[in-house]
Structure 1
Amino acid sequence: MTHPTDNNQPDASERSPVTNAPKKKLIEVSLPLNAINEAAQHEKSVPRKGHPATMHLYWAPRPLAAARAVLFAQLVDDPSSRPEEFATPEQQDAERARLHALLAELAKWENSNNKPLLEQARHEIRRSTPDRQLRFLDPFAGGGAIPLEAQRLGLETFASDLNPVAVLKTRGLLEIPTRFADQPPVHPGAQALSVDWADASGLAEDVRKYGAWLRDEAFAQVGDSYPKVVAPGGTEHTVIAWLWARTVRSPNPFNPIETPLVRSWWLSKKKGREAWIEAKVVDGAVKYTIRHDKFGPSKDDDGTMRRGNAIALGDGTVIDNDYIRAEARAGRLGVHLIAIVAEGERRRLYIEPSEEHIQAALLDRPTDVPDQLIPTRNHDVDRLPMYGMPTWADAFTNRQLLVLTTISDLITKARDKVIADAIAQGMHEGESFESGGRGAVAYGDAVATYLAFALSKLSDWSSSICSWISGIEGVRDTFARQALPMVWDYVEINPFSNSVGHFYTHVDWVAAGVAAMPMGTSSAAGRVQQADAATRDYAGYVVSTDPPYYDNIGYSDLSDFFYVWLRRSLGGVHPDVLGTLLTPKDGELVANPNRHGGRDGAEKFFVQGFNQVFRRIREGAEPGIPMTVYYAYKQQDTRDTGTSSTGWHTLLSGLIESGWEVNATWPMRSERSGRMVSVGTNALASSILLACRPREATASATTRRAFVAALKWELPEALRTLIQGSIAPVDLAQAAIGPGIAVFSRFSRVREADGSDMSVKDALLLINSTLDEVLGEQESDFDPDTRFAVKWYRQYGWGQENSGIADQLARSSDTSIGALERGGIFEAKGGKARLLPPVQLEGAWDAAADERVSVWEATVRLAAVMAKDGADKVAELLPSVQTRVNLDAVKELGFLLFHEAEKKKDTKDAILFNGLVSAWGDVNEQARKYASTPRSSQQEFDFDEDED
């Protein structure tokens, strides 16, 4: 890769002042991004039981793989910052590769509690930060993933959030398990077990035991409201779920039929197990029959709801949404039981409604239910008030409210039992958990907290917003997405069955999460508090955080769904966190137009709050270690403008205005491997990670000309490191923003020709333009055939063009059409010429016996073979390919061709070249087994482990 000439260097007077720069960390130079992203993707597919995210729902959970990897790379020195140990670029590359390999293993979900590996990671952190115990803080803790991983890596961990639901969940991850580590359970029924109660396994066992007691007591009190059902053959079965439809009376005065509002009549679409509901009007009322023939309702006549309007049964009267909404607000919506789902022999049984089961659900509303009002000015939660259900209690049926209030009340009794049993086992009484206690009272508080988590999970599966999924014969929980929709035909599960969302399964899942919590040293024990990020203290903390996503998620309004139950169950256990009627709203750092006088006011509030938070962090954070900040995209960036959602610009501008330099930007993807949302994007990530350091207070201003010169001077070397690392082509443009915006943000301001300050948007446009230039400059380093092919591909792709043009272009590239044809990459006949497309180069190939091999031929052939036959076949070819061309050049050409395909909006080619380069590290690793002799020079892999 070429560098700009000395004449392009920025004038010394226009550079930022020379300072004693802190050591660069790995995250500021290079990451094994593919390995991290693959681990994050894999984490989403593993069995979720025991995963912290399943202990209690919170929105936008951060993958543990990403959080753990980022923290490690944030704390460990890059080899280039330790020249006394790694003097040459080759030594630095080798050490970097070792750290990458460790990081790749560390990121894997399966290694979350691999104690030898974790100790190795802690050792590397201590090497880079000797003689001090690092204090970590996440001021926007949310679901708790980042502080959990800080604790796992041995840091003294602190976390805070303004949202009390986030605080309680994070306490359940960080504080409670470590405080009661290595203690046996206190439940009398658990003492007979011969078990080594290591880590939090004893605590987890008590959660299960007292959870089972709680279930049995609740069933004894309200089980009569959940009767069994008799199937047509006379056999009795436990009900799994009741399917209900809200109803509205037809506005047709001549046929005012009470019409069920149903999305779909299908119960099961599984082959051989088809089931659906047939609804007919009989004597002025609707009768529901279960049918099992596979020829059920078609798409056009499935259900009664059509784009928000309803179709009346019997006469087809259209019932518009305005009428439905008015009837709902007037309290005139009804409900019909339309089907019963029961436990059968390895399959679901679908049974028609019966009067007994209708009557069983007709209960009076219990007293002391959560009657707090649902916000009506947030589109995430305003659907229920819109349809005549103004309070949180209205999200539940009376029977659901009965079981939830019963269990909530029993949690207090379960806590009392835990305390009594703990004292009987010899534990001192002590103070409450919130007061720092470690005795019986605090232990009772701990178990009660987890039982309340199980109740939260039950509420998610036991509201009138749950719906039936015919494709899997299962239930969609309340928060299938980050909003509360209006559900017309809903599911009411049986919390005492052995299927879909029953109470004890939630107890067991919470307990599994407790048992899986990492146990650090006593100095690494977590501490969690409710605090406003804009006003709290940051002195001496290392910070990594995932702040609110501008206007994407209404965290506090959504959290109230759980908060009202947590407060009812644990108000006396966590009074500091659960003291308000609802979660705090005014100080929440989100851009909510309804709270702040419209969109402009919301943006101003967010920008001011964001800048205040990160200005305070800059003033107090641990010196010498960068801060890392995640940003989750709501929409993709476009290379045409370099812009994205307002939040992305707000984030970058806010950090820079708050006195931060942004030194790296890394695309963190948790989507499935190979996913490409669109061509022409410079951010295909689900989130972007930024590594930042405080800008020097004495930083100087500069001009647009000097900024561009600095970009052209510094970006090539940064791109070389990225390309020679393990980044995928699809991620290069986003990652290149890091070193580019680092140049921009090191200056106090960049002046335009008219004296105004350059915006972040314009800086991103210049960075993208410089990236184009740098990648284009690679061409001069390629062989003549490859230079010709790149120019031809850029102009004509795989299409035909005049042979005369091809001859001229070949001569200018110091090659000829005949040479190109002998090289197997080009053909010219009948006055027409073209590059041979990948499909014609995917067959058998012996590079060693090939008369003429170019970097182009090697790259296109290998990409085609990868797409057709996979990585193993490419690895088999590499030992012979590397005897003819430089493999580093093949990788660089892969990056360039992806870049060109992206600009041409050619998705097929972009995927082809991204696939080859993304797998480059794995392919090189696999190639070792095919190598028979060591190479004479170091390239991408080294076949002889002992070679100097």
Structure 2
Amino acid sequence: MLFNDIKISQSPQIAPLPSNVEPRLIDNGTLHLEASLAGNAERYTRGETSHTIHVWWARRPHSSMRALAFASLCKDTTSESYDLLKDLTERSDKSILDYTANLLKKQYSYPPKVLDMFGGGGTIPFEVANIGADSYSIDANELSVFIQKCNLYYSQEVDNKKIIGIVRESGYRILEQLRNESETLFPLRNSMERPPFGYFWTYSMNCQKCNYKFYLSKRRWLSKKKDKNIALLIENKTQEQVFTIGTVPGNTKFENETVWLGRTSSKLACPNCGELYENISIKDCNDEIVALVRPAEGKGKEFIDVVEDAIPSLEYMTNFEKRLLGELNIILPDSKLPKWSGIVNPALYGIETHSDFVNLRQRIILLLLIKALRNEYENLKSLQNESTAKYVIALLSSLIDQLVDWNCRLSMWISQNEQVGRAFCGPGVSMYWDYIEIDPVLNGPANLFGKLERIISGISSINKFQVKPKIYHAYAQKLPFEDNFFDAIVTDPPYYDNIYYTVLADFFYAWKRLALELIDEQLFSVKQTDTSHELVASKFRSNTAEQAHEDYCNQFSHAIKEAARVLKDDGTFSLVYSHSSINGWEAIVKAYRNSNLVITSIQPLSIERKQRPRAMTSEAVNTCITLVAHKSFDTKKPAKIAEVLEKIEEISNSFAKDLLDSGWSEEDVGLTVFANGVGMLANISKIEDTKDDNESLTLIAKKVHERFPKFSVKNRKSL
């Protein structure tokens, strides 16, 4: 039997280590025991990590990635190294990092070289550098490369002891300039004792048939906190609809009180004459403020009706923007949003460019912030030096991130906790007909002074690395490295069709480039980030769902072959992955099967928060899987599906039972068992008695579901 050598120990060893490989600590199969606990703990705290600085998606906990990097490199598999692994999940102080770096250097006689071929937000290369290894990272997306250069490269060019003070001083100068120059844009700042920090907007239309004015509002709740239940109420008057603020029962449903013909319909009807409208564009509507929120006299927030002078005249703001654009010698972002129904919905309703998703006042605030950042860059070059100026402004450019994400036409109000919700959490971009605008320099939700403090907290986690990381703008399908170069590859690729990184990144990149061309002209010379090498299964880019699946499988296979090429013969390849569909896992099978890599173990990492983007849907999974692989020069052999299913049963009776007893959820345990089946399929040349890999995976999924009923994977097409 092909799978006789599988050992059911910690994480099962689903293939023997190739003879050319010396075992690494990760091959003991114990990673899940410590890294998962540490990762979950970190995800549920707002600790001092680099994640608090820049916006990126699918970020992994630093503690888990530090453990993964160390376990993938460490050649000592004794209990002493396992104890160190446990310590590394809990600590990242200088003493333990220096000890780890010296240990690895002794084992290799040099700092081992490690590649992350999908760098993303830079967590893996950051932690590789933290443990003293020679860290290399690439990404095809310009925004990702910038984030990594900021945290991993620019940070190493400055005086760590002084930098926090410099960032704080510069940040306050920038925000005070923004406060002063935006005074006239918020007339209520100085005319009210408790000025509003939030402005509720919706869209209005005038019926072309009867001229009745009505609102397109869908989200009417202002507060659903205990004993409050405050909402916007609409009354149909003779000439128009009118908003008032009122207290209503907590179980009130507003769905039937909108002009929209159904919750997901794109059609609406005039509430006065019944005239039907479709293909609605915000360009045919008016943005209107319908309520304000300010601090209450005691604790909490107070919702009030709109008052006069809540916003300057359109003429004043138009002239203000025109003057500012001339002063900065720039034009507004005119790059286009893709019109992908179900993925980028705002583009279907008139939000066509990366300057349309903000209203006029929000746009001017962004321009004023860009002006202040550019001024401070020149100021720092004279006060400090160019390296310091680059790093400080690269860090503080994440103030732009805050405005883009939390102060735009796509930023929602969360009535349950009376906070502002992010616009761009992924996987795509939703359209909202109600949005919240903030005054970003007042003490309200999502304000810029709070963001500045989070930036400063994040800086304190960035150490001086023993070896300066190398960051490349490149792509995984054609790595810019020679053969047999890396001791380990540790990476976390895009998961099939989970998140559209370039779509999300462009909302930030389009505005950041106006401030950052001064720092990195090459990275910010284009209007939008590169999509040509993005690894994502998208029917919009490949024309059909079937072609999207084939394209992803082909491109992912190229990337895995490239990984095998640049990995040393005795190296370790640790890849973090998860997906909720059969197709997403079939891509893994095909890619590894077509390479000279053999997956030796599957190790689960419970490091995903339930509130991350994909957890909003019923198809979300909570556990990531680490596929541990090594180079093998043996020929892969065929097998029968019964052999795989037999081993699935063995794993279910042993390792899976241990996970359940340790408190893992049935759903996550089922995914882990299923992923072991994926690894076994990837290690064979073909299944002899099934039609194709999809059928084999479906049979494995059925077997796992019978044992763990809460587990499921969908047999669906790519998005």
TM exceeding 0.5 = yes
Q: Structure 1 residues 399, 471: closer, same or farther in 2, change over 3 A? A: same
Bigger radius of gyration among the two: 1
1:46 Cα deviation (Å)? 0.6
Q: Structure 1 residues 421, 377: closer, same or farther in 2, change over 3 A? A: same
> Residues of 2 paired with 1:333 and 1:716: CA distance?
62
SS of equivalent residue, structure 1 residue 291 = strand
1:343 Cα deviation (Å)? 2.5
Q: Structure 1 residues 600, 905: closer, same or farther in 2, change over 3 A? A: closer
Q: Structure 1 residues 22, 490: closer, same or farther in 2, change over 3 A? A: same
Q: Which of 275, 279, 282 pairs up with 1:325?
A: 279
Match of 2:8 in 1: none
Flag the structure with more relative contact order, 1 or 2, with Cα contacts below 8 A and sequence separation at least 6: 2
Q: Which runs of no fewer than 5 residues in structure 2 stay unpaired?
A: 6-14, 712-719
Q: Quick check: 2:410–2:431 contact (8 Å CA) kept in 1?
A: yes
1:124 Cα deviation (Å)? 4.8
Q: Structure 1 residues 299, 389: closer, same or farther in 2, change over 3 A? A: closer
Cα offsets for 1:686-741 (capped at 9, x unmatched): 32210111220xx2354536x97799799979986887799758466655567766
> Residues of 1 paired with 2:414 and 2:647: CA distance?
57
> Residues of 1 paired with 2:289 and 2:589: CA distance?
53
Q: Quick check: 2:203–2:434 contact (8 Å CA) kept in 1?
A: yes
Task: Say if 2:449 is the partner of 1:504.
Answer: yes
Task: Say if 2:27 is the partner of 1:224.
Answer: no
SS of equivalent residue, structure 2 residue 541 = coil
Q: Structure 1 residues 162, 683: closer, same or farther in 2, change over 3 A? A: closer
Match of 1:43 in 2: 42
Match of 2:152 in 1: 174
Q: Which of 234, 249, 268 pairs up with 2:223?
A: 268
Match of 2:96 in 1: 117
Match of 1:30 in 2: 29
> Residues of 2 paired with 1:311 and 1:130: CA distance?
68
Match of 1:401 in 2: 363
Match of 2:627 in 1: 690
Q: Structure 1 residues 672, 488: closer, same or farther in 2, change over 3 A? A: closer
Match of 1:105 in 2: 87
Match of 1:600 in 2: 546
1:220 Cα deviation (Å)? 2.2
Q: Quick check: 1:378–1:554 contact (8 Å CA) kept in 2?
A: no
Match of 2:572 in 1: 626
Q: Which of 106, 111, 115 pairs up with 1:137?
A: 115
> Residues of 2 paired with 1:704 and 1:695: CA distance?
18
Letter in 1 for 2:535: L
Q: Structure 1 residues 26, 106: closer, same or farther in 2, change over 3 A? A: same
Task: Say if 2:378 is the partner of 1:416.
Answer: yes
Q: Structure 1 residues 719, 574: closer, same or farther in 2, change over 3 A? A: farther
Q: Quick check: 1:377–1:594 contact (8 Å CA) kept in 2?
A: no
Letter in 1 for 2:125: P
> Residues of 2 paired with 1:589 and 1:208: CA distance?
38
Task: Say if 2:311 is the partner of 1:349.
Answer: no
1:397 Cα deviation (Å)? 0.7
> Residues of 1 paired with 2:675 and 2:201: CA distance?
53
> Residues of 1 paired with 2:691 and 2:355: CA distance?
52
Letter in 2 for 1:607: C
SS of equivalent residue, structure 1 residue 490 = strand
Match of 1:86 in 2: none
Task: Say if 2:495 is the partner of 1:535.
Answer: no
Letter in 2 for 1:468: W
Cα offsets for 1:856-899 (capped at 9, x unmatched): xxxxxxxxxxxxxxxxxxxxxxxxxxxxxxxxxxxxxxxxxxx8
Task: Say if 2:602 is the partner of 1:668.
Answer: no
Match of 2:164 in 1: 204
* 1:282-301 paired onto structure 2 within 5 Å: 282=237, 284-292=239-247, 298-299=253-254
1:489 Cα deviation (Å)? 1.2
Q: Structure 1 residues 663, 103: closer, same or farther in 2, change over 3 A? A: same
Q: Structure 1 residues 583, 738: closer, same or farther in 2, change over 3 A? A: closer
> Residues of 1 paired with 2:649 and 2:74: CA distance?
23
Letter in 2 for 1:485: S
> Residues of 1 paired with 2:536 and 2:263: CA distance?
31
Q: Structure 1 residues 74, 764: closer, same or farther in 2, change over 3 A? A: farther
Letter in 2 for 1:554: Y
Q: Structure 1 residues 291, 104: closer, same or farther in 2, change over 3 A? A: same
Q: Structure 1 residues 740, 626: closer, same or farther in 2, change over 3 A? A: farther
Q: Which runs of no fewer than 5 residues in structure 1 stay unpaired?
A: 7-15, 80-94, 183-196, 423-439, 636-643, 773-898, 911-948
Letter in 2 for 1:442: S
Letter in 1 for 2:95: P
Match of 2:586 in 1: 649
Task: Say if 2:141 is the partner of 1:163.
Answer: yes
Q: Quick check: 1:267–1:473 contact (8 Å CA) kept in 2?
A: yes
Q: Quick check: 1:361–1:399 contact (8 Å CA) kept in 2?
A: no
* 1:369-388 paired onto structure 2 within 5 Å: 369-379=331-341, 382-388=344-350
Q: Quick check: 2:586–2:697 contact (8 Å CA) kept in 1?
A: no
Cα offsets for 1:69-123 (capped at 9, x unmatched): 21122112364xxxxxxxxxxxxxxx44x54443233223xx2x32333344445
SS of equivalent residue, structure 2 residue 309 = helix
Q: Structure 1 residues 551, 732: closer, same or farther in 2, change over 3 A? A: closer
* 1:737-756 paired onto structure 2 within 5 Å: 745=682, 749-750=685-686, 752=688
> Residues of 1 paired with 2:699 and 2:269: CA distance?
60
Task: Say if 2:195 is the partner of 1:238.
Answer: yes
Match of 1:513 in 2: 458
Q: Structure 1 residues 308, 717: closer, same or farther in 2, change over 3 A? A: closer
1:566 Cα deviation (Å)? 1.4
Task: Say if 2:635 is the partner of 1:700.
Answer: yes
Is 588-597 or 442-451 further displaced after alignment? 588-597
Q: Quick check: 1:146–1:545 contact (8 Å CA) kept in 2?
A: yes
Cα offsets for 1:193-239 (capped at 9, x unmatched): xxxx2xxxx223222211111111122222111122699xxx62222
1:291 Cα deviation (Å)? 3.0
Letter in 1 for 2:218: R
Identity of aligned residues (%): 20
Match of 1:279 in 2: 234
Letter in 2 for 1:417: N
Letter in 1 for 2:463: P
1:308 Cα deviation (Å)? 3.9
Q: Structure 1 residues 379, 147: closer, same or farther in 2, change over 3 A? A: farther
Letter in 1 for 2:215: P
> Residues of 2 paired with 1:686 and 1:445: CA distance?
38
> Residues of 2 paired with 1:224 and 1:684: CA distance?
48
Q: Structure 1 residues 737, 72: closer, same or farther in 2, change over 3 A? A: farther
* 1:895-906 paired onto structure 2 within 5 Å: 903=706
Cα offsets for 1:807-849 (capped at 9, x unmatched): xxxxxxxxxxxxxxxxxxxxxxxxxxxxxxxxxxxxxxxxxxx
1:455 Cα deviation (Å)? 1.4
Match of 2:12 in 1: none
Q: Structure 1 residues 701, 62: closer, same or farther in 2, change over 3 A? A: closer
Q: Please give the TM-score of this superposition, normalised by the length of structure 1.
A: 0.65
Letter in 2 for 1:31: T
Q: Structure 1 residues 74, 720: closer, same or farther in 2, change over 3 A? A: farther
SS of equivalent residue, structure 2 residue 204 = strand
Letter in 2 for 1:307: R
Cα offsets for 1:458-515 (capped at 9, x unmatched): 2211211112122111211212443221111111110121111222222222222112
Cα offsets for 1:308-327 (capped at 9, x unmatched): 45777864x6676xx2534x
Q: Structure 1 residues 480, 713: closer, same or farther in 2, change over 3 A? A: closer
> Residues of 2 paired with 1:302 and 1:340: CA distance?
22
Q: Please give the TM-score of this superposition, normalised by the length of structure 2.
A: 0.84
SS of equivalent residue, structure 1 residue 704 = coil
Letter in 2 for 1:535: K
SS of equivalent residue, structure 1 residue 475 = strand
Q: Quick check: 1:32–1:100 contact (8 Å CA) kept in 2?
A: no
1:591 Cα deviation (Å)? 1.9
Q: Quick check: 1:667–1:685 contact (8 Å CA) kept in 2?
A: no
